Amino acid sequence: MKRLPIRDLLRDETGSLSILVFALFFVLLVSSLGVVDISDNFLAKLQLIEIGEVAITQAAHQLSLSRYYSGNVLMDSSGADGTQFRIPLDCAKAFSTFEEEIAVSQFRGEVISIQGWNCSNDEVSGTLSAQIPVLLKLPFGIGGETTTITATIGATSIIGGVRP
């Protein structure tokens, strides 16, 4: 077998298509793994929002009866004649109910933590977060072991009818 000079070896293009195909296959594989992981994170966020919506709805039903019967209600001008009002919430009871609902909820076997809470008169909102393991680990240490999913949900108390 005759050895070619180095200059001829560098100009020889034999096998360059194989290297290109392998490189493109590798890029496609890594990209598809990333898309699967992003899709899983999107679905996890939707699940966390659903859990939060159930909890925030229960919290929004905790009415402040003392403020309601004392006449301390908020007028809602969205009605045609302005006679509708929103029923005031008991913020302490609302937070307690929200915490209880989150505590009993299941989210992929992971703990859901309450990152934020806001309650004022007739509106409540909460921020939830959870750590979930990544679905597929990317090669070469790209990415991490877990992903943090965060969702913010809110609700407003019901609108009462015409005030007597």
121 secondary structure, DSSP code = T
pTM above 0.75, yes or no: no
| H helix intervals, the chain | 6-11, 16-60, 65-69, 91-104
Tokens encoding 16: 């360059």
Contact 52, 154 (CB under 8 A): no
Does residue 4 belong to any structural domain of this protein? no
Does residue 60 belong to any structural domain of this protein? yes
Length of the chain: 164
Does residue 5 belong to any structural domain of this protein? no
pLDDT along the chain (164 residues), means of 10: 64 73 89 86 94 93 75 53 68 92 90 92 91 78 82 82 48
What pLDDT shows up at residue 56? Answer: 94
Inter-CA distances, 27 with 138, 140, 150, Å: 12, 13, 30
Domain range for 35: 14-160
Inter-CA distances, 15 with 18, 30, 69, 158, Å: 5, 23, 85, 71
Does residue 71 belong to any structural domain of this protein? yes
Does residue 151 belong to any structural domain of this protein? yes
Does residue 53 belong to any structural domain of this protein? yes
What pLDDT shows up at residue 3? Answer: 67
What pLDDT shows up at residue 126? Answer: 95
**Based on the structure, what is the number of domains in the chain?**
1
